[in-house]
Amino acid sequence: MSLASGHPYLAIPGPSVMPDAVLRAMHRASPNIYEGELIGMTIGLLPDLRRVARTRHLVAIYIANGHGAWEAALANTVAPGDTVLALATGRFGHGWAKMAGDLGATVEMVDFGKQSPADPARIEAALRADTGHRIKAVLATHVDTSTGILSDMKAVRAAIDAAGHPALLMADCIASLGCDRLEMDAWGIDVAVTASQKGLMTPPGLGFVLFNDRAAAVRAGLDRVSPYWDWTRRADPEFYYEYFGGTAPTHHLYGLRAALDLIHAEGIEAVWARHDTLARAIWAAADVWGEAGALRLNVADPAHRSRAVTSLSLPAPKATELRAWVAANAGVTLGIGLGMAEAADPAWHGYFRIGHMGHVNAHMVLGMLGAIEAGLAALDIAHQAGGISAAAQVIGAA
């Protein structure tokens, strides 16, 4: 007997669950890339992408994953020898900072650890200390997918302004877009970096860089930008063939069209509210389980937790055993504890993550939580029973 047969739930924080509508939209013959339907459809994606990020500014699309979008954003704003202030709340913040360094930037790092959000006071102090305004950009992670920490981008902007500093605010919104509330323009984000395979529910392979006029002016001031990453022509529909620096990512574009239709049919506010309720249901279950035993949410204060991904600890090797059990017995794949400990360290087996981003609803979350509770019981892992009831109450009250 296998209780895992049936529809699987890939509950890792990206790639996320793909809607049938996205898969169907991609199941087609190759379209002509020079004329016809694809051209108008691609141009029509841009306003709908802007609406998800709440911006009226430009968007460049790259055939790349999130790492490619990181590099694209840096290539257009930071020259070798420039300084950036990198804020880290987990592995992804360190990763983007390392990339900036590898591209020749001088990186000043403010590390907030693995359980706390970016602290505006420390950011303001670091910028005030930069009296010569050498820092060109602040690299922030809206949601760090390794830790599940949500940082307040509006507060980061306020810290930059309070210091009277001209640095750009560049935000990694790869995990947050379409899941956690994101208001690019209202919060003063100059450059937002994102990708297709998380809240946008489309296969990995599209990276997006949204940028405002301040960022465009910085790009215009650079002597040389790697031609493939240069956003100037990519963000201008006049140069359609250059939009993708070559052949368009045809099927991804159809998939993205279907995903954006789903998001806007539901309404972005409703999408955020759904993610909020589902996340609170997960946290309620984890809180109850943790009343007896050692299971813990990584981020203590719900205000600093993402609605897209939750990171949890369970003493090694139990987290790994639990992941293996729910995959084998319930058809649910949970995420590894990325960046919480090194893979060679036995403590690595003491963390796991739940992806609850994108095409996820109440019955999937209740089923996934039920699978975890069954696994806790099957593996004799100490926990307080009743997590599922707590989650159901959150959903019932929504």
Ligand X SMILES: *Cc1c(COP(=O)(O)O)cnc(C)c1O
Residues forming contacts to ligand X in the complex (CB under 6 A) are: 14, 65-67, 92, 141, 143-145, 172, 174-175, 195, 204
Q: How far is the CB of 379 from ligand X (least distance, A)?
A: 29
Q: Which is nearer to ligand X, 142 or 165 (CB)?
A: 142
Q: Which is nearer to ligand X, 25 or 69 (CB)?
A: 69
Q: Cα dihedral sign for 277, 279, 283, 285?
A: positive
Q: Which is nearer to ligand X, 65 or 298 (CB)?
A: 65
Q: How far is the CB of 320 from ligand X (least distance, A)?
A: 21
Within 8 A by CB and 6+ apart from 367, the residues are 9, 330, 332
Q: Which is nearer to ligand X, 143 or 372 (CB)?
A: 143
Residue nearest to ligand X (CB): 66
Q: How far is the CB of 228 from ligand X (least distance, A)?
A: 16
Q: How far is the CB of 353 from ligand X (least distance, A)?
A: 11
Q: Which is nearer to ligand X, 123 or 206 (CB)?
A: 206
Q: Which is nearer to ligand X, 228 or 240 (CB)?
A: 228
Q: How far is the CB of 358 from ligand X (least distance, A)?
A: 12
Q: How far is the CB of 90 from ligand X (least distance, A)?
A: 8
Q: Which is nearer to ligand X, 165 or 305 (CB)?
A: 305
Among residues 235, 276, 239, 186, the alpha carbon closest in space to that of 49 is found at 235
Distance CA(22)–CA(252), nearest Å, equals 9
Distance CA(27)–CA(254), nearest Å, equals 9
Q: How far is the CB of 286 from ligand X (least distance, A)?
A: 21
Q: Which is nearer to ligand X, 96 or 325 (CB)?
A: 96
Q: How far is the CB of 139 from ligand X (least distance, A)?
A: 11
Q: How far is the CB of 61 from ligand X (least distance, A)?
A: 14
Q: Which is nearer to ligand X, 72 or 288 (CB)?
A: 72
